[in-house]
Amino acid sequence: MYSLTVNGQVHDVDADADTPLLWVLRDFLSLTGTKFGCGMGLCGACTVSLDGRPTRACTLRLSDVGKSEVRTIEALASDGELNVVQRAWLDLDVAQCGYCQSGQVMAATMLLEANPSPDDAAIDSAMSGNVCRCGTYQRIREAVKLAADRLPNAGGDHG
Amino acid sequence: MADNPGPAALTRRVFLRRGGSVALLLGMAVPVAGVAGVKGAASPDGRLQINSFLRIDSDGSVTVQANHSEFGNGAYTIITMLVAEELEVPLSAIRLEAAPTRPEYYSSIFREYLTAGSITTFSLWGPLRTAGAQAKALLIDAAAAEWGVPATEISAAEGRVRAGERELGYGQLVAVAQRQETPLRESVALKAPADFKILGRGQRRFEGRSKVTGEAQFGIDIKLPGMLYASILRCPVFGGTPRDFDASDALAQRGVVKVKAISNGVAVLASNYWAARKGRDALTVNWDEGANTAYSSERFFEEYRVMADEPGMLAEDIGDSRAALADADETVESVYELPYLTHVTMEPMNATARVESDRCEIWSGTQYQSNDQERVAALLGLPQQAITIHRPLIGGSFGRRASKSADFTIEAVEAARGEDVPVQVIWSREEDVRSGHYRPLFVHKLRGAVDAEGLPLAWHQTVVGQSIMQHTKHDPAYMVDGMDIYSLDGCLQEPFGVFPYGTSYAIPHHRVETHNPPKVGVVPQEWRSVGHSHTGVAYECFLDELANAGGRDPFDVRQHLARDHGRMSAVLATLREKSAWDRPLPDGWGRGVAARIYSVTPIAQVAELSVDDAGNYSVERVVCVVDCGFAVNPLNVEAQIQSGIAMGLSAVAGEEIVLENGRVRQSNYHDYPVLRLTQMPRIEVHIVPSEEAPTGVGEQALAPTAPAVLNALFAATGQRIRRLPIKQHDLTLV
């Protein structure tokens, strides 16, 4: 039995130690917003926040989560109000099939938490691990910049 | 345009009366099979069923039966837009329900329940606007009778009708129309484009919010009470089957409930996916690898090259190509070789099934519901309507989910058969890459010559690759005298079979032949843009070779060849200007152009790239011009074009499936790399203004991208690449 904190709630999970966090979230906690894409940490569809760091849930074993705080896409909006990244994604109509977008939005959210004025190089570095087969990258880049512009006290040149 | 309801005009109307309520049903071009079977025929009071697609409730909400799948194509948004415009309701008033898999909901074009071919907007353009207009007219007529004023004095807007001081909401009019048994007008005028408030303006995705909150429900997200998860071990060789297996280690895995053979492998059922996966990995299976172990991509390339030198089936023979080539002082000859490709949708294949003695329920991200229903019915020995197919959102398809064998749906049914709970089968990425269906491997051999002016005079092309349609149920529609029209799509100057378009070019002597090699276990399947994914490369690159041989500018050559094709000429003229084709580039840079017509839509692109001394190339910019008729949702047109260019670039740069000993060498995104953010070019999309009926954009943009990039690489480096992907040639996309 493992105890883990997800979106501020503590859950007891009775699963094998090697069960990836992804499948714990999806099959044990019914948090299906985090997606299965590759199982090898190659595509980023399963990106969650582990203590604020972008983390591939498909390769993180349950027994290695420890006391870290897990945050998933389901926790980004509060009381139905989208966060700044989600709003930018909606405003620029980024999603197509949408399957990778949970991971994209999570990666972008954590990028802006760490760096509110990312330049193109910072966006490349933070987002290039997230694959989108629909190729929504142009709008992803624009949406990250739009979200950054809308942050309180937005400054700096990230053109 | 406003007077043309399109190819699926409303053709019949039926009034039904049940228990005092009235339901009005209109069949689309596809006849309704028995009105009694139409949902809503017995609609309760408080609902006005305009036809099998459209219903208005007494709360004013409008419900549309969406008969097309949403897999990123924007179908849901288009459906709401078309209805809302003519019905005069805000987009937000419209709810969508997934139309059940019944003949009255089949595509008016395909006559099947299928979302494919980039024709969703084209097929719905007439019928849904007409349905909206008829519903609006009915509500106006009901108000006219109620108020005793002529219908011409009543206007409708924002879900309300008004005449002077009087007004009623659509919801209030439902009861009025039912009481009066207001008839539907036989014909209604559709709005002129100048009056559009919704169409032609970019509208954001109907289901967009759910896709940024994690609430969007894809097939893989389905959770049902008691549901088991299954992982399947399939034979690594295509066509192989399990002889026997040892399940003892698998059954020892915690959570594993059952292990059983299904027709193409061994299924492990467990209480969660990870347990199923570990159980599967613990299986020992003795395979009968079957007849395909000797097959490899290299062998196919060798065999196809030999076939390409031999006379094939004759698809087109304009002028006298052979004589013109024999008479030419010089000829150009090239062979283009294109590998198998796979779709790698971000959502791996999966499906969920619950099988009972007299019925079966399925949750599947198929884009081909009627086919899956038919296949499952045959498997289970049940009537087709005993198979219910639920429609979750689909995490990408690109053709993969139009499986003619219904492979991933059938697997779930087989896994669930005999169980008293539903079973969800999830494919790993490795299974998706190795056990998939593929864009077939192709070899094109081309010979050509130019005239005294250096312009293309003679063309002789031989196309060799597996037919997608032969020996399937589509054979009668898509095969012409044994030739697959998809294999040749984009090679022929004249319309061929049911495809009503040619290349737009006029080369005086033009001969095209084809061979269909035997099928060899690998299942060929549509891959976004289908034939154009290989014909586009061979045709547009060889055209560049001829331009080069004739000392002509490749853009000039295309404009010359397309001079009698008005729409393509306009597209090319715009592209030349927008791409600044005639402006010089720095050293190490190159531009390439390609122009294609796929499914009626002319589209052309210029790719601009830079190459460094180490062989790293960066596609800096792609300018795309498209004439897709009236652009119903320009925001989505732009998205689809960005998407097509990204996928086209991804494939030409680095994608290949290599078959060795009947097995696929690649397994996941590390060895089947797809385009990443850093590799994405800046894309500029220009839509030719038009009031013609809308045509497709979902697949079209892929077609010119690969050849435009290859032609740009030639311009930058002088290197002509004829075997794909580009990465085989020490050139890396950065």
* DSSP output for B321-382: HHHHHHH-S--EEEEEEE-BB----SS--EEEEEE-SS-EEEEE--S-HHHHHHHHHHHHT-
The helix-helix angle for A137-150 and B634-654 (nearest 10°) equals 120
Q: Record the tokens describing residue B649, joined without a space.
A: 């670039």
Residues B99-111: tens digit of each pLDDT? 999 999 999 999 9
CA B600 – CA B559 distance, rounded (Å): 18
Confidence of residue B34 (pLDDT cuts 50, 70, 90): very low
Q: How far is B213 from chain A (nearest CA, A)?
A: 6
Nearest CA in chain B to A127: B677
For the cut 80, the answer to whether the pLDDT of residue B190 exceeds it is yes
* Among candidate residues B484, B731, B701, the one with its CA nearest the CA of residue B604: B701
Q: B546-567: per-residue pLDDT in tens?
A: 999 999 999 999 999 999 999 9
B212 to A96: CB separation less than 8 angstroms, yes or no: no
B211 shares contact with chain A (CB less than 8 Å): yes
Q: Does A13 touch chain B (CB under 8 A)?
A: no
Q: Which residues of A touch B270 (CB under 8 A)?
A: none
Classify burial at B224, counting beta carbons within 10 Å of its beta carbon; exposed 0-12, middle 13-18, buried 19 or more.
Answer: middle
3-state secondary structure of B315: strand
pLDDT at B27 over 50: no
Three-state SS string across chain A, please? CEEEEECCEEEEECCCCCCEHHHHHHHHCCCCCCCCCCCCCCCCCCEEEECCEEEECCCCEHHHCCCCEEECHHHCCECCECCHHHHHHHHCCCCCCCCCHHHHHHHHHHHHHHCCCCCHHHHHHHHCCCCCCCCCHHHHHHHHHHHHHHCCCCCCCCC
User: Structure tokens of B31?
Assistant: 């006849």
Q: Is the pLDDT of residue A12 over 90?
A: yes
Which residue in chain B is spatially nearest to A130 when comparing CA positions? B676
The partner residue sitting opposite A135, judged by closest CB among B208, B255, B680, is B680
Instruction: State residue B248's pLDDT score.
Output: 98
The pLDDT assigned to B186 comes to 82
Q: Which of B53, B119, B70 is nearest to B217 (CA)?
A: B70
Model pLDDT, residue A155: 54
Sign of CA dihedral B208, B214, B215, B220: positive
pLDDT at B22: 26
Mean pLDDT of A132-150: 98
Contact at CB, B676 and A26, closer than 8 angstroms: no
Q: Which residue of B has its CA nearest to A42?
A: B669
The residues near B142 (Cβ < 8 Å, ≥ 6 apart) are B173, B176, B177, B180, B182
What tokens appear for B367 in the block? 């884009």
Banded model confidence at residue B3, pLDDT cuts 50, 70, 90: very low
| CB distance B51 to B27 below 8 Å | yes
Which chain A residues in 83-142 lie under 8 Å from chain B, judged by CB atoms?
86, 89-91, 93-102, 105, 123-124, 127-141
Alpha helix ranges (H) inside B39-119: 75-87
Give the CA-trace dihedral at B390, B392, B395, B398, to 10 degrees: 40
Contact B234, B431 (CB under 8 A): yes
A42/B278 touch (CB, cutoff 8 Å), yes or no: no
With a cut of 90, say whether residue B459 has pLDDT above it.
Answer: yes
Instruction: Provide the β-strand partners of residue B63.
Output: B55, B95
Provide mean pLDDT across the span B49-65: 94
Chain B contacts in chain A segment 73-92 (CB below 8 A): 73-74, 76-77, 82, 86, 89-91
A97 → closest Cβ in B71, B344, B677: B71
What is the per-residue pLDDT across A117-129, written as a single tens digit (0 to 9) for each? 999 999 999 999 9
**pLDDT at residue B46, rounded to an integer:** 81
Whether residue B713 contacts residue B592, with contact meaning beta carbons closer than 8 Å, is answered with: yes
Q: How far apart are CA B190 and CA B440, in angstroms?
A: 44
Q: Could you please report the per-residue DSSP string of B126-188?
A: HHHHHHHHHHHHHHHHHHHHHHTS-GGG-EEETTEEEETTEEEEHHHHHHHHHHHTPPPPS--
Model pTM score = 0.94
Mean pLDDT of the region B635-653: 98
Burial class (CB in 10 A: 0-12, 13-18, 19+), A67: exposed
Residues of chain A with C-beta less than 8 angstroms from the C-beta of B229? 27
For B266, the token pair is 């061994």
3-state secondary structure of B422: coil
> Does pLDDT of B530 surpass 80?
yes
Q: What is the pLDDT of residue B708?
A: 99
The gap from C-alpha A41 to its chain's centroid, in whole angstroms, comes to 13
Q: Is B603 exposed, middle or buried (0-12, 13-18, 19+ CB in 10 A)?
A: buried
As to burial, measured by CB atoms within 10 angstroms (0-12 exposed, 13-18 middle, 19+ buried), residue B304 is buried
The full length of chain B comes to 734
Residue B401: per-residue pLDDT: 98
When pLDDT is cut at 50, 70 and 90, the band that residue A44 belongs to is: very high
Over residues B425-451, mean pLDDT = 98
User: Which percentage of chain B shows pLDDT scores above 90?
Assistant: 92
ipTM, two decimals, is 0.97
Please state the rounded mean pLDDT for residues B318-334.
98
**Token pair 């349905």 is at which residue?**
B131
Farthest-apart Cα atoms in chain A, separation: 49
Choose among B346, B397, B644: nearest Cβ to A131: B346
Average pLDDT estimate for B589-615: 97
Set of chain A residues whose Cβ sits within 8 Å of the Cβ of B344 = 133
Give the C-alpha separation, B238 to B291, whole Å.
9
What residues form DSSP beta bridges with B442? B338, B465
Residues 6+ apart with CB under 8 A from A13: A1, A2, A3, A4, A24, A28, A29, A62
Residue type, B476: P
Q: What is the rounded distance in angstroms from the CA atom of residue B701 to the CA atom of residue B601?
A: 10
Q: B399, B345, B341: which is closest to B367 by C-alpha?
A: B399
Cβ of B202 within 8 Å of Cβ of A93? The answer is yes
d(CA B380, CA A99): 32
pLDDT at B39: 27
B residues 217-276 closer than 8 Å to A (CB)? 217-218, 220-221, 223, 229, 254-255, 272-275
CA atoms within 13 A on the CB side of B91: 17
List, in order, residues 6 or more apart from B253 with CB less than 8 Å away.
B270, B275, B278, B279, B282
Contacts of A100 in chain B (CB under 8 A): 346, 395
User: Is the pLDDT assigned to residue B458 strictly greater than 60?
Assistant: yes
* β partners of residue B332: B448
Per DSSP, the three-state class of B224 is: coil
What's the CA gap between B653 and B186, in Å, rounded?
54
Query: Which residues of chain A lie closer than 8 angstroms to B673, CB-CB?
Result: none
What whole-number distance in Å separates Cα of residue A47 and Cα of residue A63? 18
Give B460-477 pLDDT, tens digit per residue.
Answer: 999 999 999 999 999 999
pLDDT tens-digit map of B374-390: 999 999 999 999 999 99
Angle at which helices A101-114 and A137-150 cross, to 10°: 40
Helix (H, G, I), strand (E, B) or coil at B280: helix
Higher pLDDT, B16 or B660: B660
Q: What 8-state DSSP symbol labels residue B398? A: T
- B331-376 tens-digit pLDDT: 999 999 999 999 999 999 999 999 999 999 999 999 999 999 999 9
The answer to whether the Cα torsion of B321, B555, B647, B589 is positive or negative is: positive
State how far the Cα of A34 lies from the Cα of A23, in Å rounded to an integer.
Answer: 9
How far, in Å, are A76, B17, B255, B430, B446 from residue B522 at the CA level? 44, 53, 34, 16, 26
Cα separation, B647 vs B628, whole angstroms: 20
Per-residue pLDDT for B12 more than 90? Answer: no
Do residues B42 and B23 make contact, with C-beta atoms less than 8 angstroms apart?
Answer: yes
Exposed / middle / buried, residue B221 (Cβ in 10 Å: 0-12, 13-18, 19+): buried
Q: Given an 8 Å threshold on Cβ–Cβ distance, is A74 in contact with B214?
A: yes
Q: Looking at the predicted structure, is the pLDDT value of residue A65 above 50?
A: yes
Q: Which two tokens stand for residue B205?
A: 């995705």
Nearest to B129 by CA among B696, B694, B688: B694
Q: Answer yes or no: are the C-beta atoms of B129 and B85 closer than 8 Å.
A: yes
Residue B16 has pLDDT above 80, yes or no: no
Q: Is the pLDDT of residue B162 over 50?
A: yes
The distance between the two most distant Cα atoms of chain B, rounded to a whole number of Å, is: 84
The span from the CA of A36 to the CA of A22, in Å, is 7
For chain B, the average pLDDT equals: 93
- A32 CB neighbours in chain B (<8 A) are 214, 217, 220-221, 223
Average pLDDT over residues B128-151: 97
Reply yes or no on whether the pLDDT at B38 is more than 60.
Answer: no
Q: What is the band of A154 on the pLDDT scale with cuts at 50, 70, 90?
A: low
Does the beta-carbon distance from B426 to A36 stay under 8 Å?
Answer: yes
